[in-house]
Structures are given as C-alpha cells and as structure tokens.
Amino acid sequence: MDATDGNTAETTGSRRYWLLRGVRSAFSIPGLILASAFVGFAGLARDAGLTLAQTVFMTGIVWALPAKVVLVGAVIAGNGLPAAAFAVALSSVRLAPMVVALTPEMRTPKTPAWVLYVLSHFVAVTSWVLAMEQFRLVPRPMRTTFYAGLGGTLVLGNMLVVAVVFIVAGRLPPPVSAALFFLTPMYFLTSLWGSARERAGQVAMVFGLVLGPVFHLLTPDFDLLAAGLTAGIAAYALHLIGKRRRGA
Amino acid sequence: MSFYAIDAWWWPYLFIIVGGWFATDVWRFVGVYFGGKLSEDSELLVMVRCIATALVAAVIANLVIFPTGALAATPLWMRLMAGFAGFAAYLAAGKRVIVGIIVGEAVLAAGMLAQYDL
C-alpha cells in the first residue's frame, strides 16, 4: 500500500483521492457478502408485503441489516409499533459501542461534531469492520472523507441492489425465490457467530436459535422480545457463574 | 397498531421511521456522544450484547422454521439440513462467511432439485 503514515498530515493528498479510495474499499469481499445478504433481504421484505418504495426507504434510513430483519419480522408477526420499536432498539444497542470505538479513530481536533453524527449513520457491521481494518492506511485528517466514501457507497449501492431484486423477484421461479429467502438466515447464522466478542455471545446465539421458535408458538405477539431477553439473560448468567468459578 | 393497521400511505413510513430509524440511529448518536467514555469491556455491555445477539438469533431461527413465501414450500428437514451443513462448512473453512452461504444454498438447491424433480 502506498498510503502515508497516519501522523504525517502534510502529505495527505487531495480529499477527492481519499473519497475515491473509500468508494473503492466498498467493492471488496465483505462488500460482496453484504450485497448478497441484501439480495435476501429484498426477497424477505417483498414477501412480507412491503412495497418497493418502503423497502428502499427502509434500507437507506435504518441501514443496519439485523435491525431491518427484526423490523420486517415484527411486520410479519403483526406486532404493534411499540413492541416493534423496542425489539429493533434492542437489536441495535450493539451499534453504540461500535460507534464509540470508531469515532476516536477518525476525529481530529478540527472535526465538526455534525460530521461525526452524520457519518455514524453509516455504521453497521460491514463498514465498521472495513474501516477499522483500513484506517491505519489513511492519514488521520482524511479518515472522515474516506469513511464517507466507503459508507455512502455501501448504503447507496445496496439501496440499488434492493430495488433491482425487489422488481425481479416476482418473476423468479419458486425454487429460485426460496434460495433467495434462505440467504438472510444463512448470512446471519455465520456472521453473527463470527462477530461474537466473547463465548457468552455464542451461547446467547444458540439459546436464541432454540427459544425463538419456542416463544413463537407460546407468545406469538412478543416472541422476539421474550426469546431475546430470556436467552440473552440466561447466557449472561452462565457467563457470570463461569467467571466466579474461575475465581475472578 | 401494526404495520398494516392504518390504511394511509404515510403510516408504513411512520412505522419505519419510529420503529426502524429512531430505534437504530439513537444508539449511533449515543455512541458518538459517549465516544471514548464508555469501555467496550464493561460488564453491562456484555449483557446488552448477549440480549441483542439472542434476539437476532431468534429471528433467524423463525425465518428457517416458520418461513413465508416460496421457502415455505420446502420441507422443514431440508431447511434445517441446509442450515446445519452451511454452518458446519463455515466453521470448517476457518469462519469464512462466504463458504457457509455457498454450501448452505447448495444443499438447499440440491434438495429442491430432488423434490421438484427438475
């Protein structure tokens, strides 16, 4: 890589160059995997009865894929707005620590606060992983520009993917649609396991996989919340017990 | 007040804005505000991450076990087999997401080919 060291602000190059570097970073393996997950999401939303405009709007304005999948899950289940918002908020809490980790890396004393607030909208797993990986190659004053290019491309590109798939999906033969709908669970089944920060997260995932369908049968109106709280707190309790045993 | 409760063009958008945008971006803004003050290792965040992970896992399991649309036409055992195969391949390949997706989809496709006798 020909990038300059993060400390030598004098040789930062032009803003346009770093914006385009950010745009180019979106076209990568993680970006491709994310696009395939959005292909699946478009099928899911279409199937839930959402319109093209609603689906594209949701893609741009919510952006985090788990939040959208939970929101569409609540739409399918016929949950009310407060229950849906609460479930989505719980699924999005994890964004706060991610932003906490990312912000100090791209802030300079001169960065206006509004820039950081606007850029935080682009934070989701893929852009976060790519940024944390590549920031060391980007001079510090250019990192917000780089991230704007990266995040903006991912958001706009996947809005386009969602729109195209939504239009095409209705004309696909049923087996192809079925394969399309299977992309979303397959993507999360693997990426969620990999993104778990500690063993407790993986235990929580296994509990959630089992309790989700159980609570769907028991309490269809609050299945996601009930499963998430029960499985999550049980996994955390095991984590605490394990910690005490190890003599912490 | 579900997504289809009010028959007006703006209601679904309001539902998405309140239930989706606000519920999500509020945490991003909290993150910017606290940037640096909150430790990623704090015990509170471990619990929050556990609940959030379990919630998304519950959604995934429901999508596989109680699917809608074209996927509902496939037998449950086939979807479960595809999910397990994909996940096993993901682990075997050193946690490569793309491998898990391809293998899971391939097993599902093979099952459907046999089922529909294409």
Same domain, B57 and B80: no
Task: Give the closest residue to B87 by CA, choosing from B53, B61, B48, B118.
Answer: B61
Which of residues A231 and A221 earns the better pLDDT score? A231
Q: Given this model, what pLDDT does residue A170 score?
A: 77
CB pairs under 8 A between A and B: 335
Indicate if B82 and B48 belong to the same structural domain. no
Q: Which pLDDT score, from 0 to 100, does residue B1 have?
A: 83
pLDDT reported for residue A225: 81
pLDDT digits (tens, 9 = 90+) for B22-47: 999 999 999 898 875 656 567 777 88
> H or E stretch including A87?
helix A81-92
Collapsed DSSP state (helix, strand, coil) of residue A53: helix
B61 and B92 housed in the same domain:
no
Q: Residues B82, B94: one domain?
A: yes
pLDDT band for position A107 (cuts 50, 70, 90) = confident
Report which secondary-structure segment, H or E, holds B51.
helix B43-65
| CB-based contact A177 B71, cutoff 8 Å | yes
Residue B60 and residue B46 share a domain: yes
Q: What are phi and psi of B47, to 5 degrees?
A: -65, -45
Same domain, B92 and B79: yes
> Please, what is the average pLDDT of chain A?
88
Q: Does residue B44 share a domain with residue B4? A: no
Is the same domain home to B31 and B43?
A: no
Query: In chain A, what are the domain boundaries?
Result: 13-177, 196-248
Confidence of residue B118 (pLDDT cuts 50, 70, 90): low
Q: Both B78 and B112 in a single domain?
A: yes
ipTM computed for the complex: 0.83
Chain A residues inside the 8 Å CB shell of B62: 73, 212-213, 216, 223-224
Q: Where in the sequence is the domain holding B110, given as residue range(s)?
A: 74-118
Q: Is B62 found in the same domain as B84?
A: no
User: How many domains does chain B contain in total?
Assistant: 3
- Residue B52 and residue A197: Cα distance in Å, rounded? 12
